[in-house]
């Protein structure tokens, strides 16, 4: 019974620990902003939403090498998404980020991509 309680606490604490703003790469002095975008999705009741952010966006091109990706959670109460860099990375010309919201919470993030 004690181990069931510990596992339950682990599932409550782990999403809180990993819920924060994310940074990939380091911005240099000579870099320019490739994308500066705010993404907002309202909460869906009783659901966890999985959303993707791609740079460059569909049917767009990017010839600049990405040096840094900053994703900032605009919710001030640590209810932001869990972020995962799925493909691409700094040093490449594209990137895809998966954002998984918490249960019954929307999405409110700001993306800044430097190249």
Domain coordinates in residue numbering, the chain: 2-114
The DSSP bridge partners found for residue 72 are 110
pLDDT digits over 11-41, tens only? 554 444 444 688 888 888 888 888 888 888 8
Beta-carbon count within 10 A of 87 CB: 12
Say whether pLDDT at 72 is over 50. yes
Q: What was the pLDDT predicted at 9?
A: 47
pLDDT at 6: 57
52 falls in which pLDDT band (50, 70, 90)?
Answer: confident
CB-based burial, 54-68: b 16+ in 10 Å, e otherwise: ebbeeeeebeeebbb
Average pLDDT, the chain: 77
């Amino acid at each position: 019974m004690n181990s069931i309680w510990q596992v339950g606490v682990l599932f409550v604490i782990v999403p809180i620990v990993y819920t924060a703003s994310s940074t990939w790469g380091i911005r240099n002095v000579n870099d320019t902003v490739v994308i500066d975008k705010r993404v907002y999705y309202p909460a869906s009741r009783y659901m966890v939403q999985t959303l993707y952010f791609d740079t460059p966006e569909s049917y767009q091109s990017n010839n600049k090498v990405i040096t840094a990706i900053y994703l900032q959670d605009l919710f001030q109460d640590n209810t932001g998404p869990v972020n995962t860099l799925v493909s691409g990375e700094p040093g490449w010309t594209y990137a895809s980020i998966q954002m998984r919201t918490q249960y019954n919470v929307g999405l409110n993030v700001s993306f800044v991509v430097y190249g």
